[in-house]
Structure 1
Amino acid sequence: MTGTGQAGEPREQWFDPADERLGWDGVCGFERAGETVLPLRMPRERIATALSDDLARLAAMPAGARFAVRTDADRLLLDLAAEAGGAPLDVLADGVLVDRRRPQPGRARLAVALPGVLADIEVWLPHLSRTRLAAVGLRGHRLLEPVARTGPRWTAYGSSLTHAMFPHGPSESWTALLARRHGWRLRNLGFAGQAYLDPVVARVVRDTPAELITLEIGTNAYLRSAFTARTWGPAVCGFVETVRDGHPDTPIAVIAALPSAEREHAVNAAGLTLAGVRELTGAAVRVLQRLGDRRLHLVDGRDVLPLAEADGVYADGLHPTPAGEHRLAGLAEPFLLPLLAA
Structure 2
Amino acid sequence: MGPEPLWTGYRHREIDAAGWMTFWRLDPREQSFALTDWVGVPDRPGHRLWSRAATPAGVRAAWQTSAATVSLEIRAELDIYSLIAPVDFLVDGVLHARRPVEAGEQRITVELPPGPVRLEIWLPQAGAIGVRAVLFDGEAEPQPPVGPRWIAYGSSITQCTGAFGPSETWPALVAREHGWDLIALGFAGECHLDPIAARTIRDTPARLISLCLGINIYGGETFSGRTLPGQVESFLATVRDGHPHTPIVVITPLQAPNVEGKPNALGLTLDDVRACVELGARALGDPELQLIDGRTVLSIEEAQALYVDDLHPGPEGYRLIGERLAPLLTLPL
TM-score (norm 1): 0.89
Alignment equivalent of 2:248, drawn from 240, 247, 252: 252
Alpha-carbon distance in structure 1 between the residues aligned to 2:244 and 2:228: 23
Aligned to 1:8: none
Q: Which runs of 5+ in 1 are unaligned?
A: 3-13
For structure 2, the 5+ residue unaligned runs are 39-45
Q: After the TM superposition, which parts of structure 1 deviate over 4 Å for at least 4 consecutive aligned residues?
A: 47-51
CA drift at 1:295: 0.7
User: In the alignment, which residue of structure 2 is the partner of 1:192?
Assistant: 188
Deviates further, 108-117 or 182-191: 108-117
Q: In the alignment, what sits opposite 1:63? A: 57
1:240 Cα deviation after fit: 0.3
| 1:40 positional shift | 2.2
Give deviations 1:105-144, integer Å, cap 9, x for gaps.
11112211111311110111111112111221001x24x2
1:33 aligns with 2:22: no
CA deviation profile, 1:14-70 (whole Å, cap 9, x unmatched): 34xxx2xx2322122310112211122211212446671110111000000001101
Cross-structure match for 2:173: 177
Distance 1:148 1:37 in 2: 19
Kindly indicate whether residue 332 of structure 2 is the aligned counterpart of residue 341 of structure 1: yes
Partner in structure 2 of residue 312 of structure 1: 305
* Structure-2 separation of matches of 1:68 and 1:294: 36
Distance 1:282 1:49 in 2: 32
How far off its partner does 1:248 sit? 0.2
**Equivalent residue in structure 1 for 2:278, among 278, 282, 307:** 282
> 113, 116, 122: which one pairs with 2:114?
116
- What does the per-residue CA deviation read over 1:140-194, in whole Å, with 9 as the maximum and x for residues that have no partner? x24x222243311010000000010211101101110110111111101010001
Q: Residue 47 and residue 115 in structure 1: after superposition, are their counterparts in 2 closer, same or farther (change >3 A)?
A: farther
Shift of 1:229: 0.5
Q: Counterpart of 2:220 in structure 1: which amino acid? A: R
> Counterpart of 1:153 in structure 2: which amino acid?
R
Secondary structure of 1:270 counterpart? coil
Q: Which moved more, 1:308-317 or 1:71-80?
A: 308-317
Q: Identity of paired residues, percent?
A: 42
Cα gap change, 1:49 to 1:255, in 2 (>3 Å):
farther
Bigger radius of gyration: 1
Contact persistence 2:84–2:128 (CA under 8 A): no
Q: Which amino acid aligns with 1:205?
A: I
Aligned residue runs from structure 1 range 1-342, under 5 A? 2=1, 14-15=2-3, 19=4, 22-35=5-18, 36-48=20-32, 52-84=46-78, 85-139=83-137, 141-142=138-139, 144-289=140-285, 293-337=286-330, 340-342=331-333
Distance (Å, rounded) in 2 between the aligned partners of 1:246 and 1:151: 20
8 Å CA contact 1:83–1:129 kept in 2: the answer is yes
Measured in 2, the distance between the counterparts of 1:278 and 1:179 equals: 26
Aligned residues: 318
- The CA distance in 2 between the partners of 1:166 and 1:44, in whole Å, is 26
Question: C-alpha distance in 2, partners of 1:334/1:79?
Answer: 37
What is the CA–CA distance in structure 1 between the aligned matches of 2:261 and 2:313, rounded to whole Å?
21
